[in-house]
Structure 1
Amino acid sequence: MSASPPIGGHVTVSGGLATGGLANMASIGAEIIQVFVANPRGWALSAGDPAQDARLREAGVTTFVHTPYLVNLGSPDPGTLEKSVAAVRHNLRRGAAIGAAGVVMHTGSAVNRSREEALRQIREHLLPLLDEIPDDGPDLLLEPMAGQGRMLCATVDDLGPYLEALDHHPRVGVCLDTCHAFAAGHDLAAPGGVAATLDALHEVAPGRLKLLHANDSKDACGSKRDRHENIGAGRIGEQAFAELMRHPVAAGVPLCIETPGGAGKHRADIELLKKLRASL
């Protein structure tokens, strides 16, 4: 039997990182949380509140940080690159301050140039940030996207060149988003689809799966459309999530929902995942 994974969700932190985060965690029945430590749709970097940081750290809650959506270390625009480097460094430092287990970063886009050029740039600017992470700091978790545009990582196989560009750095992990993987062409709803995806991930990035974003999909497999749906209400279906928790590659790996709706729907999603976990 696979190790029992903790289940939680992304929570808002209005009122303070600990005050808001812990209250919202309780309201949806989460066992782990993911938070933003800066504006997710901007470049402003918040210094944080040491008292809130200490309270969250002392609570002993497994916490993940998600970097802002604008981050793209593969961008050919010098301004975007500079701000992306600053944002990733800031999020890693803030993650260390709150005792986070990992900092999730979208793998970025080549925009209007070759994948090779973009990966060379990522190597140049990301390796120094990885070397700055303290021994007790968070790992950086690469999150492949749904495959739209010139995204550098969508399928599991895309992670191979990305990890190679980073010399398979020991502080790099993977965050697999089920909606993204499905949209990119991994048919998690098909018989054996979950096993095939996780087996492929193990071949490319053995031991690096640190977080699962558990999201159903509004759109069909291979759509390249990143539209999350509540668990069991989309094209992936609830059975795939049970298979995910059962697979040895995902044994004990936390699941974090990023599904639509408010606290009521989020609580229902988490309760459903817990029910599936109990049946393992």
Structure 2
Amino acid sequence: MTVTSLIGAHVFVAGGLATGGLRNAAEIEAEFVQVFVTNPRGWALAAGRPAEDAALRDSGLPVFIHTPYLVNLGSPSAETVERSVTSIRHALLRGAELGARGVVVHTGSAVTQSPEAAMRQVREHLLPLLDEIPEDGPDLLLEPMAGQGRMLCATVEDLGPYLSALDFHPRAGVCLDTCHAFAAGHDLTAPGGMARMLDALHAVAPGRLKLVHANDSKDACGSKRDRHENIGAGNIGAAAFGDLLRHPAAAGVPLCIETPGEAERHRADILLLKKLRDGCPG
């Protein structure tokens, strides 16, 4: 029996998680949503609004949360690490309140210190957070980056030692960003390229893939540049996303767009992915 992958989007929540988020989701025909629960470019933590939280929960629409962009447990700055821990804990608590399926966190950068020192920090601070997650709380989803700078995890093979540092904790899942993977050097446009990448992911992290950020790329394979493009309009192309949707490792895994533009372009991206999911050519 084939398990259908939901197609959703990171949505704008102006006016409230439910008021704005559900309106945006309906407009672009998203089957689930990803949201920020606090300022994505700052450290201030926002409290939930009970009525909005209840409305989003009661909608039945699956929810994922993305942590702020500043979060980096590999940073040489003790202040950044401390604030990152607080931010991740806040997102996990808000995720539990919203009934979210997962909380996405970037895997981080060593910045100016050695990768070994940075990974010791990741282990020291992330393991306790993973242990705190209640049984009915969201998984923490690790998102590899595009390989720029001193990133700790970029290719899917990098997930092996990263998860090993976390003792393959059962609440540590994976969020795969197609633009990041392409930029990191996975040639998703080559014949069988998407399948090879997903096979490699399954080899190092079987059953850990919980979410895909479905983004085309403005730049070439191996560019190490994280610039998203609309589905089929970039250097990855629509066909690769069809390959992804047909691969056993991605069966039932939700696909979330984080593509440029306003509602009209997001709706077009979602409709294209739905056609590919349903076996129609892009």
Structure 2 counterpart SS, 1:213: strand
Q: Distance in 2 between matches of 1:64 and 1:43?
A: 20
Match of 2:123 in 1: 123
> CA offsets, 1:36-95, max 9 Å, x none?
000000001001101111111111111100000000001110110111000000000001
Q: Post-superposition shift, 1:3?
A: 2.1
> CA offsets, 1:202-224, max 9 Å, x none?
01000000000000000000000
Contact kept, 8 Å, 1:2 with 1:246, in 2: the verdict is no
Q: Distance in 2 between matches of 1:3 and 1:58?
A: 24
Structure 2 counterpart SS, 1:64: strand
**1:275 to 2:279 alignment:** no
Structure 1 counterpart SS, 2:231: coil
Amino acid at match of 2:35: V
Instruction: Name segments (4+ residues, structure 1) moved above 4 Å.
Output: none
Q: What does 1:259-274 align with in structure 2 at a 5 Å threshold?
A: 259-274=259-274
Q: Post-superposition shift, 1:2?
A: 4.3
Match of 1:151 in 2: 151
> CA offsets, 1:77-127, max 9 Å, x none?
011011100000000000110000000000000111111111111111111
* Length-normalised TM-score, structure 1: 0.99
**1:180 to 2:180 alignment:** yes
Q: What does 1:1-280 align with in structure 2 at a 5 Å threshold?
A: 2-279=2-279
Amino acid at match of 2:22: L
Q: Distance in 1 between matches of 2:136 and 2:61?
A: 15
Q: Distance in 2 between matches of 1:105 and 1:227?
A: 18
* Length-normalised TM-score, structure 2: 0.98
Unaligned runs of at least 5 residues, structure 1: none
Structure 2 counterpart SS, 1:105: strand
The alignment of Structure 1 onto Structure 2 pairs a total of residues equal to: 280
> CA offsets, 1:139-170, max 9 Å, x none?
00000000000000100111111101111000
Q: What fraction of aligned residue pairs are identical, expressed as a percent?
A: 75
Unaligned runs of at least 5 residues, structure 2: none
Amino acid at match of 2:38: A
Q: Distance in 2 between matches of 1:263 and 1:103?
A: 24
Q: Distance in 2 between matches of 1:87 and 1:170?
A: 21
Q: Distance in 1 between matches of 2:113 and 2:190?
A: 35
Q: Distance in 1 between matches of 2:112 and 2:187?
A: 29
**Aligned-residue CA RMSD (Å):** 0.9
